[in-house]
């Protein structure tokens, strides 16, 4: 799935940027990483919906898609940890916390399947 590769590439790019930001005490680069975390969240949301659709279309996909969901969530969490590092860099350099509220776009914990949408074989 191309969403996995794109999400992983973005996380790796953010890690590279945040390490560079730390090395050079570059607050603007740290803030860029901090703001772009929502892009990773959006990819995770899209991947969640795609995998959920595959599971609903064919229950034989449930096991493999569930494993992929856990993988995607862990990649997304890596992005969150990198964002935490960006916040710490800002604090070290500026001596204060970022005043804005952290942008979040992860809605996977809020997505709900309406009752009756999933067919239950044998019921």
Q: What is the CATH number of the domain that holds 82?
A: 1.20.58.220
- The reply to whether 54 falls in a domain is yes
37-91 pLDDT, tens digit each = 999 999 999 999 999 999 999 999 999 999 999 999 999 999 999 999 999 999 9
In a domain, 38, yes or no: yes
Domain-located, residue 31: yes
Average pLDDT score, the chain? 89
pTM for the whole thing? 0.81
- Asked if residue 84 belongs to a domain, the reply is yes
pLDDT interval class at 6 (50, 70, 90): very high
**31 has a pLDDT exceeding 60:** yes
* Residue 44 lies inside a defined structural domain of this protein: yes
Containing domain of residue 51, as a range?
2-94
54-93 as b/e, with b when 16 or more CB fall inside 10 Å? Answer: bbeeeeeeeeebeebbeebbebbebbeebbebbbebbeee
CA pair distance 25, 19, nearest whole angstrom: 10
Q: What's the gap between Cα 60 and its chain centre?
A: 26
Q: Is residue 113 part of a domain?
A: no
The tally of CA atoms less than 13 A away on the side-chain side of residue 88 is: 10
Structure confidence at residue 123 (pLDDT) = 40
Q: CB atoms < 10 A from the CB of 102, how many?
A: 14
Place of tokens 């009752």: 115
22: in domain: yes
What is the number of structural domains in the chain? 1
In a domain? residue 117: no
């Amino acid at each position: 799935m191309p969403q996995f590769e794109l999400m992983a590439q973005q996380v790796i790019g953010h890690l590279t940027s945040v390490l560079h930001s730390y090395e050079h005490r570059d607050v603007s680069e740290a803030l860029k990483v901090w703001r772009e975390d929502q892009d990773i969240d959006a990819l995770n949301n899209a991947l969640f919906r795609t995998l959920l659709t595959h599971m609903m279309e064919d229950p034989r996909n449930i096991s493999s898609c569930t494993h992929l969901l856990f993988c995607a969530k862990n990649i997304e969490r890596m992005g969150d940890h990198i964002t935490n590092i960006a916040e710490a860099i800002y604090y070290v350099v500026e001596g204060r916390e970022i005043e804005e509220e952290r942008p979040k776009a992860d809605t996977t914990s809020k997505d709900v399947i309406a009752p009756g949408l999933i067919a239950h074989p044998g019921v």
